[in-house]
Structure 1
Amino acid sequence: MNHVLCGLAANVSLPSELVDRLIAVADADIAADLARRADLSHAQAVALASRVEESAAWLAYAGLLTAADIDPVTQPDGALALLAERAGNPEWARLFAEDPVVERREKLAGCSGLPPDVVETLAADSDIRVVAELALRATPETATRLAEHPHAEVRRAVAANEATPPAVLAALLTGEGLPPAQRCLVCDREEVPFAHDPQCPRLDCDLPSGASCDGSHESTGHETQHMAIRNPATPTEAVVGFVDHPSLLLRWALAGRPDLPSEACARLAVDPNSGVRADLAENPAIDDALIRVLATDRDHEVRRRLAHNPHVPLDVLTYLADTTRIGATLLPRIASASPDEAEKLAGSPNPAARMLIAQRRDMPPAVRDALAADSDAKVVKSIAPHPGLSEGRLRTMLDRHGVRVLAKVAANPDATPALLEDLARHEPTAQKAFREIARHPHAPVPALLACLADTQARPIAAGHAALPPPVIEELLTDVDRRVVEAAAANPSLPLAVMSDLLSRL
């Protein structure tokens, strides 16, 4: 891979005539960056697709190619991409439905809006992967028909399809009203009974871990139930009977459904597996009483996930912030807090409550400034990136709390060049601060030069437009490929240098 040319291909300042020269020598790696350019013309897209066949699909998905630009014989991936976008020629669908390459028929089966005769051809395909892909995105009518397919893998795909009618999903979940499946991927390949060894040594084996069949296709049937429980179109009354099912996988899938009745939620709240309880804790279906029960769960992850529940009461959330590591994130309940609730949290004697509301970035100036002056470093870290804070307030934070708030102050969108330069020189330092400074639009040259000395910040700083051109040019020969690509993509790279790099080809 030529990292300089890949970087140039992504450089927004690369003029059109140099884009043309780059297209003329592009390989798949360079084409991947060229295809993402916002200024790529239609003529350039056509030329790139002709040069690198793989790029035709990327360009088609981006809307830069039309059916008139694609030859389905020489550019099958581009043609299939247009069909997926419902912008291709319907005759192409008939061509690919008979294609000897199974991967192309499989891609076609994943397209919507196919002609009825093509759907019929794919539904009768000899390769079960094609039929399963069709079932995964089929219309309600086709999904209903494929639910009775003799192969269990197709039924599993129908169970995952949200367009499948609810009654059909319920039947797939229980098996009632459907003829038994006759085959599965396991008995297609192995003599039954067979259980796939999780440590299978065969290099050519692609059976899933735990796949098994004793003639009843049990592992695929179990996965079909799993897909149906996860499918929001499956009726609630069909899934609640699985609340005490011996399969952990099925109970776990059930715990995330937002339509669960309170009785089912209460049963899952005492599930022996903490993963089930954790998914339930974040589920908006649980009521206030159950929220308070789960707030005292012995498992940390259950309590952490409960904090992300959009309906958790603020007093419970404050308790969780005291007893659980939630992380520096804006929680849904905090984001939806009313102005009165936000003001009450900001004035709480509990620093955990103040830290939660400090994650908001829309606080009134008076509340924001009061939080910025907080005596607790965790609260100050949370509020430090809030827009609108003056340089004086940011410096006061730094004076009071030092390195603990350094990176968050550097992340403030209103940090001035002078402040960022001082942050880059601060002792002791914080590696995260260098990364924040390196990506800050106000970062001055001295601060960026300091960031270049940090291994993790160096690739970020190399792409900063404020770097002097001689420094950018020097970075083009760096030992770190990430730095090279970032420097080549730097919009401040001189035009003469870009032209010279391309003239060496």
Structure 2
Amino acid sequence: MPTPEQIWADADLPARRLAGVALNPSAPEDALLRLLADGPLAVRMVLCRDRILPDAVVDAVLEHPDTRTRSFFARNPHVDPAQRAQLVDDPEWFVRAHLADAPRVVAGGAPRPLPDEAAVRMISTYEGELLQGTFYRQISTGLRRSMPTHPVAKVRCWGVGMWDLLPAGTQAALLADADEDVRERAERHARYEDSAWVERELPARSCHARWDMLLHRALSRTVVNSVLTAPVTEGERAAIACNPSLHADVVVLLAGDPDPAVRERIAHRPDLGPAERRALATDPDPKVRLALSVHPELSEGERAEIDYEVPMNDCFHSHPEPSVHRDPQDVRRDANSSHPLLRRKAATDHYLPPDLVERLADDDDLGVRVLLAQNHPDAPASLLLRSFLEYDGHERAHLTTRPNFPTTGLAAFADHQDPEVRALAARDPETAPATVARLTRDPDPAVRAALARHPNLPQPRLAELLDDEELAHEAAANPALDSEVMHRLVTMQGQRE
């Protein structure tokens, strides 16, 4: 079965042009229905996967006899998730698998969650293998939080996976759950807190399970001593340095370890003693000093005395909403810190109050500003644009998807040396027709494609581009394309068939 990429690669010029019509926000409903019924596979793929659809077209998609066509709609990130959820009981496993797999979104974005009842239905009835991919990204925060106490046993099984975040009472209830599968899964997690069990089950060779235990599970003194004296592989000392079950004397020992990677890990531990903090604050390795400089037990004065350097080449990306919210006082403390890394941490909080949003939006650290822009739902338009102009790293494009990203005034960037910035002119409804036409001949293909869809594109140039091998798809998606032209293109397809 061809992949979506292969389907598109095999599409000829007329098919790509019709796929543009399928994307056109001005396309008449009857034209869309005809494309759905008679269009080539590439056209149906684009129509069902890559746009919001009128209700009548959605109804026709849900009843479409072709499995691939329904499967494209199952992964549409643009439609209301409740519409996609109508495929939850589709007779074909292929469609159900695509519904379970989260839709593709712009890097840094997150798919909108499915309705809780649909997610519960899938957890309750789908084969486990269908839920092993990115299904979890479609679970709402509310459902995720309720999973450990959910009335449906299979959902509680998923909730057991939050074991380390659960209060003792909830853990006890899961260990005594009426459902055998829930109890078994809870008992498996509880065993990880038994150092004797971990010692017995710890694999003797390097593998994922061994690393997981060394990093996260309760370690006996015997296991710790074996890692300190005869580790199975390089890096195991650094691994146990993160383990929360380490005894205080081992923490003291590893704080003076000759390997800076071990000392860096130890510097992050909240249980680090005052003497160890003082020693690591002057460590010869800059990464160790940086790690220690954000320790929660340090005062602002103590932080200021550490010789640390904050990296500026990091990726400043979006962070998913956590299942457990941070304490607002801790967030405020970090936002008001003199340390850029702590302010960056605060900037990722989705619930940052307005006064702190205003404060951090004008922060002198690029990372703080970009992280606030990437994560806060009320990030102001001026911050979003400034961040896009100043940051050229991973997930830059995600900034343009934020709710307040501006559209006015972007024509001013039509001659910018950065092609990604030039392409912003495509978002400005006031970009002059002559500028739009000129940018359809830009040296950068992404700029050409973006401006070919601008409604201010002069009609003669738009007509010319409909026959352009490269830009016909984008030109046919231009909302200024006359509906009669769209009908004619659809009719021509019918005659070809």
- TM-score with structure 1 length normalisation? 0.51
Contact 1:281 1:291 in 2 (8 A): yes
- Counterparts in 2 of 1:338 and 1:34: CA distance versus 1, 3 Å: closer
Deviations 1:260-281 (A, max 9, x none): 7784866665566655655665
Higher relative contact order (CA 8 A, sep 6+): 2
| Whole-Å separation in 1 of the counterparts to 2:280 and 2:40 | 56
In the aligned structure 2, how far is the partner of 1:9 from the partner of 1:451?
24
Match of 1:62 among 81, 84, 108: 81
CA drift of 1:241 comes to 4.8
- Write the distance in 2 (CA, Å) between the matches of 1:304 and 1:267: 30
**Matched positions, count:** 362
Q: Does 1:146 align with 2:185?
A: yes
Is 2:211 the partner of 1:219? yes
Aligned-partner SS, 2:74: helix
Paired position in structure 2 for 1:310: 335
The 1:48/1:81 distance shift into structure 2, 3 A limit, reads farther
Q: Which amino acid aligns with 1:40?
A: P
1:29 CA displacement: 7.5
| Superposition deviation, residue 43 in structure 1 | 1.0
Distance 2:242 2:80 in 1: 29
Per-residue deviation, residues 209-231 of structure 1 (Å, max 9, x unmatched): xx37xxxx532313435999999
Question: What's 2:451 paired with?
Answer: 461
- Relative to structure 1, the CA distance from residue 338 to residue 36 in structure 2 (aligned partners, 3 Å threshold; closer, same or farther) is closer
Match of 1:71 in 2: 91
Structure 1 segment 284-323 matched on structure 2, within 5 A:
287-294=299-306, 296-297=307-308, 300-301=311-312, 310-313=335-338
Cα distance in 1 for residues equivalent to 2:301 and 2:295: 14
Q: Among residues 41, 44, 48, which one is paired with 1:27 in the alignment?
A: 41
Query: Aligned partners of 2:452 and 2:292: how far apart in 1?
Result: 45
RMSD over aligned Cα, in angstroms? 6.0
The correspondence of residues 72-471 of structure 1 with structure 2, limited to 5 A, is: 75-77=95-97, 85-88=115-118, 96-97=126-127, 103-104=129-130, 106=132, 118=154, 136=161, 140=171, 141=174, 145-146=184-185, 148-149=187-188, 172=192, 175-176=194-195, 178=197, 180=199, 182=201, 194-195=205-206, 211=207, 218-225=210-217, 241=251, 244=255, 263=274, 269=281, 274-275=286-287, 278=290, 287-294=299-306, 296-297=307-308, 300-301=311-312, 310-313=335-338, 415=409, 420=412, 434-456=422-444, 457-471=447-461
AA of the residue aligned to 1:224: H
Q: 2:453, 2:475 within 8 Å by CA — same for their partners in 1?
A: yes
Please tell me whether the aligned partners of residues 462 and 486 of structure 1 are also in contact (alpha carbons under 8 angstroms): yes
Contact (CA 8 Å) 1:255, 1:279: kept in 2 or not?
yes
Q: Distance between the aligned counterparts of 1:236 and 1:466, measured in 2?
A: 65
Deviates more, 1:43-52 or 1:136-145: 136-145
Structure 1 residue 493 displacement after superposition: 2.1
Matched with 1:8 is 21
**Contact preservation (8 Å) 1:438, 1:460:** yes
Separation of aligned partners in 2, 1:338 and 1:103:
42
Which amino acid is 2:432 matched to? P
In the aligned structure 1, how far is the partner of 2:271 from the partner of 2:474? 49
Separation in 1 of the partners of 2:34 and 2:88? 24
Alignment partner of 2:465 out of 463, 470, 475: 475
Contact 1:255 1:283 in 2 (8 A): yes
Q: Distance in 1 between matches of 2:161 and 2:293?
A: 30
Quick one: structure 1 residues 178 and 73, their matched pair in 2 at CA, closer, same or farther if it must change by over 3 Å? same
Q: 1:453 to 1:104 in 2, by over 3 A?
A: closer
Aligned in 2, Cα 1:292/1:473: closer, same or farther, shift over 3 Å? Answer: farther
Distance (whole Å) between structure 2 residues aligned to residue 446 and residue 81 of structure 1: 43
What are structure 2's unaligned runs of at least 5 residues? 1-7, 103-112, 164-169, 176-181, 218-237, 317-332, 374-384, 390-404
Letter in 2 for 1:103: E
Residue 18 of structure 1 aligns to a residue whose secondary structure is: helix
Query: Which secondary structure does the structure 1 equivalent of 2:17 belong to?
Result: helix
Q: TM-score, normalised by structure 2?
A: 0.51
Deviations 1:358-393 (A, max 9, x none): xx99xxxxxxxxxxxxxxxxxxx97999xxxxxxxx
Q: 1:28 to 1:103 in 2, by over 3 A?
A: farther
Structure 1: segments with no counterpart, 5+ residues: 124-132, 150-157, 159-167, 185-192, 196-210, 321-325, 347-351, 362-380, 386-410
Output the amino acid matched with 2:22. Answer: A
Instruction: Rate the CA distance shift 1:219–1:472 in 2: closer, same or farther, 3 A.
Output: same
1:146 aligned partner, one-letter code: R
Q: Give 1 or 2 for the bigger CA radius of gyration.
A: 1
Q: Aligned pair in 2 of structure 1 residues 48, 55: CA closer, same or farther (>3 Å)?
A: farther
In structure 1, C-alpha distance between the alignment counterparts of 2:99 and 2:50, rounded to whole Å: 19
What SS is found at the alignment partner of 2:35? Answer: helix
1:119 deviates by: 6.8
The corresponding residue for 2:481 is 493
Matched, 1:40 2:54: yes
Q: Are the counterparts in 2 of residues 438 and 464 from structure 1 also a CA contact under 8 Å?
A: yes
CA contact (8 A) 2:268 2:292 kept: yes
SS of the residue 1:12 aligns to: coil
Asked if the contact 2:211–2:239 (Cα under 8 Å) also holds between the matched residues in 1, the reply is no
Query: Residues 450 and 70 of structure 1: is their aligned pair in 2 closer, same or farther, counting only changes over 3 Å?
Result: same
Whole-Å Cα distance in 2 between the matches of residues 451 and 289 of structure 1? 53
Aligned residues of 2:36 and 2:47 also touching (Cα < 8 A): no
| Sequence identity percentage | 16
- SS of 1:9's equivalent in the other structure is helix
Letter in structure 2 aligned against 1:311: N
- The residue identity in structure 2 corresponding to 1:63 is A
Which digits, 9 at most, give the CA deviation of each residue in 1:50-104, with x for residues without a partner? 552423533697110437873366743367579974434978766545xxxx623
- In the TM superposition, what is the alpha-carbon distance from 1:443 to its structure 2 partner? 0.8
